[in-house]
Structure 1
Amino acid sequence: MTARPDSGSPATDALARVLARAAMAAEEAVGGYAGGVYLRSRTDGLLRLAALDGLPGRLFRPWWRMHVNRPYPVAEAFRSGQAVHLPDAESAMRHFPQLTAGLPFTFGSLYEPVAAGDERFGVLMVLRPATPGVAVRPADRERMRGIAARLAAELTAFTASGVPVVWDGDPFRPEPAVPLGGAEAAVDRLAQAVLSTDRQGRIRYANAAAAALPGAQGRPLLGEVLWEALPWLGHPAYEDHFRAVFMAPQPVYFVAREGHPPSGRWLSVGLHPGPDGVTVTLGSPASVSYASPQESASSADRSSALYRPVALAIALTEAMTARQVSAVVTEELLPAFGGRQLAIYLLDERHLHLAWETGFPRGFLDRFDGVGLDVRLPGVETLTSGRPLFFESMGHLAAAYPGIPLDTHVGARAFLPLIASGRPVGSCILGFDTPRSFSAEERTVLTALAGLIAQALERARRYDSEAALARGLQSALLPHRLPVSEHVVTVGRYLPGTVGMDVGGDWYDVTETGPDSLALVIGDVQGHGVAAAATMGQLRSAVRAFALGGNAPEQVVRGTNRLLIDLDPGQFASCCYAELDRTTGRVRAVRAGHPQPLLRHPDGRTEVLDLRGGVVLGVDPGASYPVTEFVLEPGALLALYTDGLVEQPGKDIDAGVERLRAALAAAPPVPLTETADRLAGGAGTSGHRPDDIALLLAWRTGAAG
């Protein structure tokens, strides 16, 4: 059956078919065996797999959702706007170790951003056989670019017709034009079960012995998905074997216990891949040189379980805050074990407080928020005892803890202690929709993963404390009030970055340097954190001291440059300094590696000023900084800003400057506070700002203002 998008509307169906055609065209063009298209979703920063061809969707569910900030090639291509080409496993491991940890197979892959101008729709992806040591050919790169460009044009047409090009459902999987059946009649005489599936796992042929397998119940299997027809083959311990055979051309052999839950005889399973599908053989394990079926099954379990902690560990190293750690656990841990609910409680002053939840009924967990360590609850006792607790059903949980409130789910529960280096951090609850058992391997892996999660949460706590210190330091160093001056109105704005949650070294200041003169300065110290904030404070004080000492603009910047080199060799900063005569409007400006300011004339015409500049501060002790003079007329507005306001990942900074220029031209200068809010808010509405933003506006009112 063809998988349809959730909405089922004609427009969405048409969009799905366009995406599927592009994926299949890209496969054919570059010799791939699978392809797909990721599209942006209605959730900010989240991509979803919208179309998939050549792979069974069930096996790759953990990769259906992809955040644009994750270290995966799909996210990198979307974020940067540049294609990503991985010819083999070595290149994938070198550049994207988390991808290799989750899919440790030999394959090549190509990722092409789908964009039209500034409009980024998603990413076109193709998987193909690896070419070890041989880079992707220019012809294949060009073919991918061409198909992505044609797809972008089609998606632009959808947008123009009012159809939103977003995706929030499961991936659309086209029905391949492969007839059912097609195997030799002689195979029916074999005692060994033989099945043939297409590249999406649908059974295209099954011999007579296959119909006798547990789960088949003698019914025709043609057209069914393998793991739905024979559910015991869908055990998590075997998923990596199936992923391997769909991702790489080598045969795979393992043993599996038939029945659901697995309880019958042991069978040897052979998976034989081809360009159009996979042949599956199931028979007695005696013909395969395993030491014993039980040993082989345990080996398969261990092999499958190995990549879960590896993938999660790599992802946790990049999580900086408790919320990011919890999001990683949701994205990596739940799919690996088939979980649907997650709750994380953190310990604070002998009470557990709910820090993260997903999948539970709304408000159900509120009653457990803030419970003390003396309360008899599994989430408390797993932490106080240091032992994980596993319940195969909610009935087992209720029997162990009579009277405990239960939610509407009937499935299994796992309660894991979060302990880092002997220090209690909290507890983690995993929920499952249906009852299930936990093998010894799964219990061991989940317990180990709980330790990794605890370490990451403890690190996040320290980071949050350091970040709070840096933000407090920065808040103390930035001006809380700008001077009120005759004939000139000034307004400043600062927005911290949200990616990584580190404070930066952006600053601005306004200083009265004489009866009629005003010094305007804006700067950006390299780096983030406490060190950058401290350096910013030192530079702000230095600029103010040099300005109040009666120095000319070029002397102020030269002196600050030498001071930075003496204070912190290797640190550098950009800066723009302007001295304004409030009476005449004459401006003498100096620029040190900083973005060009904007000037809005009284008639609304807005231009990017061309100030001559010198190198950034902190590099050359003998650097010179030329002065540029211009006049700020009555009614004119000068805008100084840092690059966080105009830079966007994967886009030319000139495009950002032009957007800011157009916004300033369209904004009335009065009241100036609203203008500042509008300009800063245009970039501040983005949920993912990689850098801080500082903005300083100066409006000359004139003698009558």
Structure 2
Amino acid sequence: MLDPAEQVLRMAFVTGLSRRVATPWIQVALASTVPAAEAAREGRMVWVPSHTDMARRFPRTALALPYPIALGVVPVSSGPTRWGSLLQLWPGTHEPALSERETRALEEGAERIACLLQRAAEAGHPVRSTELRVMDPPPTRHAEAGADLTERLPEGICALDLEGRITFLNGHAVQLLGGTRDGLLGARPWDALPWLNDPVYENAYLGSLFSRLPTSFSARRPPGQWLAFHLYPDATGVSVRVTPGEAPGDGGEGDGVQDPVLTPTAVERTRPGALFQLLHLSSVLTDAVGVRDVTDTVTDHIMPVINAQAMALVTADEGRLKVVGCRGFRRDIAEVFDGLAMSAETPVVRAIQNGTPLFSTDGDELRRTSPSVQLSPDKASFAYLPMFASGRTIGCCVLGYNRPHLFPPDERTALISLAGVIAQALERARLYDSKNQVALGLQAALLPHDLPRIPGLQVAARYLPATRGLDIGGDFYDLIRLDDTSAAAVIGDVQGHNVNAAALMGQVRTAVHTHASAGAPPDEVLARTNRLLIDLRSTLFTSCLYAHLDLRHHRARLATAGHPPPILRRPDGGTEILDVPTGILLGIEPEAEYRTVDVPLPPGAVLALYTDGLVEVPGTSLDTSIAEFAARLGNADPRSLDALSETLVRRAGRTRQSFRGSDDIALLLIKPDARGAG
């Protein structure tokens, strides 16, 4: 389901998988390149017939779901309202295309869901994705009496639910697996049996569960007995046959099924769930650009997965600690560490200085041995994970647990790797933020800090940069007071997104201001500014729209150099896209001439000047986009220009995010009132 305010999709309902398995994929940004987001964003079905095709089109999803599956997503919407998307998985053996029956079922299902959501919203009880809800699987098909049948079979039979827990096993399975029936029932095999505690074995179960395809493998039970496992999944769980097997290379005939031999390769093993959750985090962090994005991603996606109740990201800068992200710890504890000197005797400083992780399974013991250490009194266990990036330790990731936590070797390995992934993302984000701050500062310095107050005239301006690093835009606007009854308004866009574009933008704005203040008419202002750009020998071109506002007679004289046409909203709410003779862009033709046009500007009317970033939408013609913007302007409330400009720019900003646009947005609204007649 789509959260329009945050522009994210949150998993609301799931069936066929457990909450534990679904949690790593519970939230994605609407702008991200994953199937569920693409279907919701673009309003069309997305069909991925194989994992190979997924790796090519959606590498992030392929990394997170490395199983032989096919995937289909349809948008869930009613009219202009986007509710989210409906995603279904099929085995990878599915035909390359959906059948007509399957396509119709998907589309009708999405339509029925949309109708229910619309009805709930209209009734004042909108459905919101506040918590993942796991729908019950289909009911079991057979009575318990069927267990007698399995006891007669000469092989082990057991059943796993969607959580991977053993819900049934016959006597032969108990004998082959070892242990006791009571010890195995309700447990996951890889938890209850040490010789199955390896990523490859749990991953075989996950692969079978996601793909709904039979899976087989062999494993060695100490001291030397080989067993063959055959997994048969459906929507309710996985049935498993366990039979004596042959050692690799013995060439046993068995039942004709060739089982891949999966053997442990490391003493300290990483749980497959943790492994793929770590891979998923790595792919999610590629979308995070700033430090705030990284910390939000880590706390939102990782804490539920690793079952930590608190997390803090602490960096070391200029000999002091800085808490860049914190959740779950008490505020006063975070404040103690923020600004703490690196000479302090704390586990955080020790982990950063030594580059060695520290795991405290008993917080009380740590308090006794290190009484000066500041710890959250409500936390029982802690992990202090040094974060390495660019060949150095940049900080520490601190985890807190409400209950005693043992940190087995496999989990320690996963957590240490996790800290490394976070550190690399954090280092990139800090570099981005520093460049972005410089770019935004330069950009802001070249734009007017405040527009002049002119009697008889209301104005509002908005600027939304698309700055990434040092990718500085060249959009500009200005309002110039000429005398008691006249003013000038200008808006323009320098080609390119770099420091040169920003510098030229400053020169153009200064030139326009100078010529306007000298009393030049609109056509002369543009012609003189054009000659300046020619003399500067700039390789960049500039669009510009200049308006001379006659407040006494309620008229405006307009001239344009290749800029999008202004829009006039009349007092009665009707809108008009003004037909201004289009001159050539500034900086191309030395002898270019520009023409002016007079238009009425009555009290209560709104004149909108804007740059193309406000209206451009990929796949839509510019004329259509401008007409749609004019309609929005006509339907909006013009009483407060500040509120009106904020609404128009916010709407354009959401559109730009949905289509991953990268152009700046500038908007200048002008509204004369009756006082201008004096």
Which residue of 2 is the match for residue 246 of structure 1? 209
Query: 1:646 touches 1:657 (CA, 8 Å); kept in 2?
Result: no
The 5 Å alignment of 1:31-70 reads 39-40=1-2, 44-70=6-32
The question of 1:176 aligning with 2:138 is answered: yes
Give the Cα–Cα distance (whole angstroms) in 1 for the partners of residues 553 and 670 of structure 2: 14
Distance 1:137 1:147, change over 3 A: same
Report the counterpart of residue 376 of structure 1 in structure 2.
345
Q: Hey, what does 1:606 align to over in structure 2?
A: 574
Q: Deviations over 1:599-650 (max 9, x none)?
A: 2334x32314243575995897699977554211244331223456567899
Aligned to 2:238: 278
Shift of 1:166: 0.8
User: C-alpha distance in 2, partners of 1:252/1:435?
Assistant: 37
**Aligned mates of 1:572, 1:76 — CA distance in 2:** 35
Per the alignment, do residues 556 and 196 of structure 1 end up closer, same or farther by CA in structure 2, a change over 3 Å counting? farther
Q: Which of 435, 443, 461 in structure 2 is aligned with 1:474? A: 443
Matched residue of 1:382: which SS?
helix
- Identify the residue that residue 662 of structure 1 maps to in structure 2: 635
Aligned to 1:356: 325
Question: Does residue 187 in structure 1 map to residue 150 in structure 2?
Answer: yes
Q: Displacement of 1:157 after TM fit?
A: 0.8
Task: Work out whether residues 18 and 134 of structure 2, in 8 Å CA contact, stay in contact via their aligned partners in 1.
Answer: no
Distance (whole Å) between structure 2 residues aligned to residue 309 and residue 624 of structure 1: 62
Q: One-letter code of the match for 1:345? A: V
Name the CA shift for 1:414/1:608 in 2 (closer, same or farther; >3 Å).
farther
Structure 1, unaligned stretches of length 5 or more?
1-38, 259-263, 669-673
Q: Distance in 2 between matches of 1:170 and 1:225?
A: 24
Residues 567 and 202 from structure 1, CA distance in 2 versus in 1: closer, same or farther, beyond 3 angstroms? Answer: farther
Find the residue that maps to 1:218 and give its secondary structure.
Answer: helix
Shift of 1:427: 1.2
Partner of 1:10: none
**Residue equivalent to 1:164:** 126
Given that residues 218 and 262 in structure 2 are in contact (C-alpha distance below 8 angstroms), is that contact kept between their aligned partners in structure 1? Answer: no
What's the counterpart of residue 18 of structure 1?
A: none
Q: Which residue of 2 aligns with 1:704?
A: 677
Aligned to 2:255: none
- Answering whether residue 308 of structure 2 is matched by residue 339 of structure 1, we say yes
CA distance in 2, matches of 1:625, 1:131: 65
Structure 2 residue identity aligned to 1:386: G
Whether 1:675 and 2:641 are equivalent positions in the alignment is yes
What are the residue-to-residue correspondences of 1:581-596 with 2, within 5 Å?
581-590=550-559, 596=565
Q: How far apart are 1:62 and its partner, in Å?
A: 0.8
Q: What secondary structure sits across from 1:195 in the alignment?
A: strand
Matched letter for residue 675 of structure 1: L
Alignment of 1:232-271 (within 5 A): 239-248=202-211, 249-253=213-217, 255=219, 270-271=229-230
Select which of 102, 117, 134 maps to 1:155. Answer: 117
Matched, 1:416 2:385: yes
What is residue 252 of structure 2 aligned with on the other side?
none
Conserved in 2, the CA contact under 8 Å of 1:254 and 1:268?
Answer: yes
Encode CA deviations 1:530-550: one digit per residue, 9 max, x unaligned: 565445334433544565677
| Structure 1 segment 183-582 matched on structure 2, within 5 A | 185-189=148-152, 193-197=156-160, 205-210=168-173, 217-218=181-182, 239-248=202-211, 249-253=213-217, 255=219, 270-276=229-235, 277-282=237-242, 295-296=264-265, 301=270, 307=276, 310-334=279-303, 337-395=306-364, 397-398=366-367, 401-402=370-371, 404-407=373-376, 412-438=381-407, 440=409, 442-485=411-454, 488-496=457-465, 504-511=473-480, 518-525=487-494, 530=499, 533-544=502-513, 553=522, 569=539, 575-582=544-551
CA contact (8 A) 2:290 2:430 kept: yes
Are 1:648 and 1:656, in contact at CA under 8 Å, matched by a contact in 2?
no
Q: 1:114-153: CA deviations, max 9, x gaps?
A: 1222322111111113369945567755553333223212
* Equivalent residues in 2 for 1:121-160, closer than 5 Å: 121-130=83-92, 134=96, 140-141=102-103, 143-160=105-122
Cα offsets for 1:253-302 (capped at 9, x unmatched): 365999xxxxx999857352344442224577765679999735759748
Q: Which has the larger radius of gyration?
A: 2
Matched residues in 1 for 2:586 and 2:93: separation? 46
TM-superposed CA distance for 1:176, in Å, is 0.6
Identity of aligned residues (%): 35
Amino acid at match of 2:52: E
- Residue 176 of structure 1 aligns with an amino acid whose one-letter code is P
How far the C-alpha of 1:350 sits from its partner, in A, is 0.9
Give per-residue Cα distances to partners, 1:426-458, cap 9 Å, x unaligned.
Answer: 211123455444455554454344334333323
- Cα distance in 2 for partners of 1:238, 1:310 equals 18
CA deviations on 1:382-407 (whole Å, 9 max, x unpaired) are 00112222233435544653453443
SS in 1 for 2:264: helix
TM-aligned CA distance change 1:164 to 1:336, over 3 Å = closer
Find the residue that maps to 2:182 and give its secondary structure.
Answer: coil
Does the CA-based 8 Å contact 1:48-1:64 persist in structure 2? yes
Secondary structure of 1:371 counterpart:
coil
Letter in 2 for 1:661: G
TM-score w.r.t. the length of structure 1 is 0.77
Q: 1:584 to 1:302 in 2, by over 3 A?
A: same
Q: Are 1:389 and 1:415, in contact at CA under 8 Å, matched by a contact in 2?
A: yes
| Cα distance in 2 between the residues matched to 1:369 and 1:487 | 51
Larger displacement relative to structure 2 (586-595 or 72-81): 586-595
**What is the alpha-carbon distance in structure 2 between the residues aligned to residue 288 and residue 73 of structure 1?**
40
In the alignment, the residues of structure 2 paired with residue 269 and residue 500 of structure 1 have an alpha-carbon distance, to the nearest angstrom, of 55
Deviation of 1:70 (Å): 3.7
Equivalent pair of 1:645/1:680 in contact (CA under 8 Å) = no
Q: Given that residues 114 and 148 in structure 1 are in contact (C-alpha distance below 8 angstroms), is that contact kept between their aligned partners in structure 2? A: yes
> Is the contact made by 2:360 and 2:382 (CA closer than 8 Å) also made in structure 1?
yes
- Going from structure 1 to structure 2, the CA distance change for 1:283 and 1:58 (only over 3 Å counts) comes to farther
Partner of 2:69: 107
1:695 pairs, out of 640, 659, 667, with: 667
Alpha-carbon offset, residue 479 of structure 1: 1.4
Contact 2:166–2:184 (Cα < 8 Å) also in 1? no
CA distance in structure 2 between the aligned counterparts of 1:581 and 1:274, rounded to whole angstroms = 77
Mean alpha-carbon deviation: is it higher for 137-146 or for 322-331? Answer: 137-146
The verdict on how the C-alpha distance between 1:148 and 1:646 changes in structure 2, with shifts beyond 3 A counting, is farther
Q: Given residue 203 of structure 2, which amino acid in structure 1 is its aligned partner?
A: D
Equivalent residues, number: 651
How far off is 1:356 after superposition?
0.6
